[in-house]
């Protein structure tokens, strides 16, 4: 009887101890340091990475405390380089890939195949068409992120409103640049005649050819830069100088592509906004949500007008148009 009483007492004590442990374990904060591998497709897109880190900090992920970013700015610019970088990051046991650009996203997607490591992209243009995800609402797999819907026709429309005298358009692109070609074939070519414009020969094979074409452009021409133009981006500064010398204004989709002066206007997504969207998605994944269940979000477009550049090209911008701009740079 005494033995039974002792056993019973022991069981009760063990139960109380377990209960105590259970209660004490409730509410104990889970602390983990996340390792995020970052791959950026183009140097000027690194601004998204910077904004992403700011947003992550606002969400409570402080670099060096509970999050570590593995980012190599000298990774290269082609698919092979991105693939190698993705594999290198895999070897470093990253918890998540944050990719900026279509090619980098594809590289990460290939690297994480067969694993549960999520990939969040910010941005990818038309991710379904690129085969990054199966469906916008239901991505499936472990890749999700923020998409950009090609608004280049709308950007061109805004350019024409600012420069209504325009009759010709020069839109340089290299057929070897797949992303650029996706934009070229995305509807802009149909929009140009619809807006009463004539497309100047724009297909080039390299930077030199791109620059040489500038000299032959009619005066009522505007240069409209799709973005990215990948292989041609190294010549953007020269392009802007030649255009300025010819008095041909440049309009772009993205502002921070390396032009000097900046483009007259650009209709693009907000880097900070899309980085914030991407950060929120990463946060939700860290909180347990599965990428497969996270629909692709869409970045918002904004109209920016640079009045300084407009003055350089003697382009008067009406108040009616300025009133419709999201950002006016004076």
- Interface ranges with other proteins (CB under 8 A): 1, 5, 8-9, 12-13, 15-16, 19, 23, 136-138, 149, 151, 153-154, 156-157, 191, 194-195, 277, 281, 284, 289, 293-298, 300-301, 320, 323-325
Is the Cβ of residue 294 or residue 317 nearer to other proteins in the bound state?
294
H helix and E strand count, the chain: 12, 13
CA 311, 316, 319, 322 torsion-angle sign: negative
Report, in Å, the least distance between residue 306 CB and other proteins: 17
Report, in Å, the least distance between residue 218 CB and other proteins: 23
Query: Beta strand 250-252 with 96-100: parallel, antiparallel or unpaired?
Result: unpaired
Report, in Å, the least distance between residue 32 CB and other proteins: 19
Is the Cβ of residue 88 or residue 284 nearer to other proteins in the bound state?
284
Of the candidates 69, 42, 74, 40, the residue with the CA atom closest to the CA atom of residue 54:
69
Report, in Å, the least distance between residue 216 CB and other proteins: 27
Is the Cβ of residue 197 or residue 225 nearer to other proteins in the bound state?
197
How far is Cα 266 from Cα 325, in angstroms, rounded to an integer? 10
How far from the centroid of its chain's Cα atoms is residue 158's Cα? 22
Report, in Å, the least distance between residue 19 CB and other proteins: 6
How far is Cα 99 from Cα 110, in angstroms, rounded to an integer? 12
How far is Cα 219 from Cα 200, in angstroms, rounded to an integer? 12
Q: Which residue has the tokens 């414009």?
A: 197
Report, in Å, the least distance between residue 252 CB and other proteins: 17
Of the candidates 321, 298, 324, the residue with the CA atom closest to the CA atom of residue 150:
298
Is the Cβ of residue 81 or residue 136 nearer to other proteins in the bound state?
136
User: What tokens were used for 79?
Assistant: 């698919």
Is the Cβ of residue 8 or residue 80 nearer to other proteins in the bound state?
8
Is the Cβ of residue 74 or residue 319 nearer to other proteins in the bound state?
319
């Amino acid at each position: 009887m005494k033995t039974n009483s002792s056993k019973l007492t022991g069981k009760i004590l063990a139960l109380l101890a377990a209960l105590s442990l259970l209660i004490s374990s409730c509410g104990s904060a889970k602390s983990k340091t996340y390792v995020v591998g970052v791959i950026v497709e183009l140097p000027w897109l690194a601004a998204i990475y910077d904004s992403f880190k700011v947003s992550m900090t606002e969400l409570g992920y402080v670099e060096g405390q509970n999050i570590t970013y593995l980012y190599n700015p000298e990774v290269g610019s082609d698919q092979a380089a991105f693939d190698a970088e993705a594999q290198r990051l895999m070897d470093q046991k990253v918890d998540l890939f944050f990719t900026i650009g279509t090619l980098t996203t594809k590289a990460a997607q290939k690297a994480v195949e067969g694993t549960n490591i999520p990939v969040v992209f910010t941005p990818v243009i038309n991710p379904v068409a690129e085969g990054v995800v199966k469906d916008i609402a239901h991505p499936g797999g472990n890749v999700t992120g923020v998409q950009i819907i090609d608004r280049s026709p709308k950007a061109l429309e805004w350019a024409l409103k600012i420069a209504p005298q325009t009759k010709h358009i020069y839109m340089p692109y290299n057929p070897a640049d797949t992303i650029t070609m996706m934009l070229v074939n995305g509807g802009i070519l149909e929009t140009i005649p619809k807006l009463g414009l004539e497309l100047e020969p724009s297909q080039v094979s390299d930077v030199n050819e791109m620059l040489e074409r500038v000299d032959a452009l009619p005066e009522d021409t505007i240069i409209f830069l799709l973005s990215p133009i990948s292989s041609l981006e190294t010549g953007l500064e020269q392009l802007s100088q030649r255009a300025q010398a010819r008095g041909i204004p440049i309009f772009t989709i993205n502002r921070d592509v390396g032009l000097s002066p900046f483009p007259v206007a650009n209709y693009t997504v907000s880097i900070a906004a899309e980085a914030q969207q991407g950060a929120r998605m990463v946060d939700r994944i860290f909180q347990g949500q599965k990428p497969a269940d996270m629909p692709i979000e869409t970045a918002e477009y904004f109209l920016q007008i640079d009045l300084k550049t407009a003055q350089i090209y003697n382009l008067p911008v009406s108040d009616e148009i300025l009133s419709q701009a999201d950002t006016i740079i004076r």
